[in-house]
Structure 1
């Protein structure tokens, strides 16, 4: 084996070890009976049982899940429209402004976005009476504002790579532009939509900064609860929670990749 190849493998191994050994240790210590996170005593599932009895964590989890699902679907709808406009409509009047508005949430710090939306909702509450308080809706709006930009960029890059002859052939055969979009374009960009959905879901359920500004009494999301507890010290229950998330995400990614690869093979077989 060549020396350069050996050095590359060593560097790769060190990189993966740096990334995954902490995660592995977290999973191992989630089965530790001791209340001291870094002191192993014996195997136990007591922290998973304690997690199942923690009403605050369970309530915050379901709130975060509902917000993340709503954010993912709304972001895909709005982001797909925005990305399609950026990729196909050319440089229309106001194109630069439209592009800047789509890309702004990607570069503006979340702290600034959170403060801006908070002030907006406060003034709207004074003048319009809505929203009456901060909760599910205000957090959802903030997350959609952030996530739709990521979806728009993903969809824009995918639409630009499409072969326009397929859509042109459908138009020549008498299909309407709307029919072409749903029958031809949408299936071709389905993987980009799935990627945008997953990214939006992940960003939403993991968001802390925007949620901190846009949440109110009775609408505390899971990241806020975890952050407030970790600040007071490491808790073995958090290890159990993190392990469950790792397991769910791993299974979800494997399943989604399997179906995406199978769909891609079918599409390639159909083209061939």
Structure 2
């Protein structure tokens, strides 16, 4: 029985990961295809990466996407961290249910509804759509993901460390930046990476809230794919995949190093005691 269950689990995992990652592997391989036909292998070549670097429209869209992702992820991380602190530390207060519902609503709300709502808001206040409206939209739906990640980190937080620092005369604000923030930094970094990735990937919300001169890379790729997939698009997607992969690896290594440093400090403190 156990052997059958074990093989079933292994098979499910293999099939699941194959279904998820095999298309990405094929995309990366065909980005080095000599032939313009993406389904016919014509030999190894890097000419499509050179063609991509000469495509100013794709480069402009990629630059807009990176700027939007960086700014919106940073703002969403700050706001999401504050929201997580309120939910984790403030206890029961009047309006808590409404507050938590407003934070978590974008998690379950369809992107079409969120994008249309923001579009109607910008039209109602007579706000010209462009770069900053896309940032506001991405910050709105990325903030909830950051709040969830940081709040899960705060649940298991040892508040006796903060109490000890304040007992020794450290002000609350300084205690947060010297004690609390470094300890929850892995969760904050994970939230930032998640928000950055979601902003890079978004198509629907950006389509509703963008304007002239603020075309993101997913929108540009989608508009070109309707006319046919080219190896040049494969090259762009491969670079995006590599950027996200490198970012995740760097964040994982930084988190691991911080955890090792924290454990070492705790061991040294226990040994000195």
TM class, shorter-length:
over 0.9
1:260 has 2:261 as partner: no
Q: 1:215 aligns with which of 206, 210, 216?
A: 210
1:4 Cα deviation (Å)? Answer: 4.3
1:235 has 2:236 as partner: no
Contact 2:85 2:151 in 1 (8 A): yes
CA deviation map 1:84-139 (0-9, x unaligned): 000000111111111111111112211111111111111211xxxxx3x2111100
- TM-score with structure 1 setting the length: 0.93
Alignment of 1:8-157 (within 5 A): 8-125=9-126, 131=127, 133-157=128-152
Contact 2:197 2:244 in 1 (8 A): no
1:13 Cα deviation (Å)? Answer: 2.6
Contact 2:193 2:247 in 1 (8 A): no
Whole-angstrom distance in 1 between the partners of 2:202 and 2:92: 34
Whole-angstrom distance in 1 between the partners of 2:164 and 2:3: 52
- 1:128 corresponds in structure 2 to none
1:163 has 2:158 as partner: yes
1:2 Cα deviation (Å)? Answer: 4.4
Classify 1:110/1:10 alpha carbon distance in 2 versus 1 (closer, same or farther; 3 Å).
closer
Classify 1:4/1:119 alpha carbon distance in 2 versus 1 (closer, same or farther; 3 Å).
closer
Q: How many residue pairs align between the two structures?
A: 266
Whole-angstrom distance in 2 between the partners of 1:247 and 1:145: 26
1:175 has 2:170 as partner: yes
Q: What's the Cα RMSD here?
A: 1.5
1:149 Cα deviation (Å)? Answer: 0.9
Unaligned regions of 5+ residues in structure 1, if any?
126-130
Greater Cα shift, 150-159 or 59-68: 150-159
CA deviation map 1:154-181 (0-9, x unaligned): 1112112101111111111111111111
Unaligned regions of 5+ residues in structure 2, if any?
268-273
SS for the counterpart of 2:125 is helix
Whole-angstrom distance in 2 between the partners of 1:145 and 1:41: 45
SS for the counterpart of 2:98 is helix
1:3 Cα deviation (Å)? Answer: 4.9
- TM-score with structure 2 setting the length: 0.93
CA deviation map 1:214-252 (0-9, x unaligned): 111121111100011111221111111111122222222
Whole-angstrom distance in 2 between the partners of 1:177 and 1:15: 47
Whole-angstrom distance in 2 between the partners of 1:265 and 1:256: 14
